[in-house]
Amino acid sequence: MFATAQLRMLRLTATLGVLAGAMALVAPLAIPGTLFPDAVVVDVVVFYGATAGAYAILPFVRRGDIAMVAMWLVLAVGVAPSVVGRELSAAHMFAHMAGVAMAVLPIYIARRRQVAQGDTRPYRRREADTLSAPAPTADPAAR
């Protein structure tokens, strides 16, 4: 298990990576496109890094929510060139989706393996919490 300082450093590093990737995506001249013109590998790596970093810095957010936001980001970045009058690039759009899939699929595959091995919890986390029990009602007929 990670020590607290190591976990904080991991989260800080992942946060900086996600921010750097986000800045590279929305920079005025699209930094990856300027340094490596038409290199779809850069798109894959940037979206993989952003999605994997989001999983690292947001441990209490549901895995499906992070995947959904990442795919909305793929759509927004893919359609953004049409706003300024350029054509959409199918190759870059598929590269973005591949980067997100590379980060998301191992998580879902691992969960699928757990379910196949019988690791299903009989109750939800919140149902087991005694503090979240329903409040008693004042109506005696409801009892």
pTM over 0.85: no
The three state secondary structure string of the chain is CCCHHHHHHHHHHHHHHHHHHHHHHHCCCCHHHHHCCCCHHHHHHHHHHHHHHHHHHCCCCCHHHHHHHHHHHHHHHHHHHHHCCCCCCHHHHHHHHHHHHHHHHHHHHHHHHHHHCCCCCCCCHHHHCHHHCCCCCCCHHHC
Low-confidence stretches of the chain (pLDDT beneath 70): 1-3, 21-38, 122-143
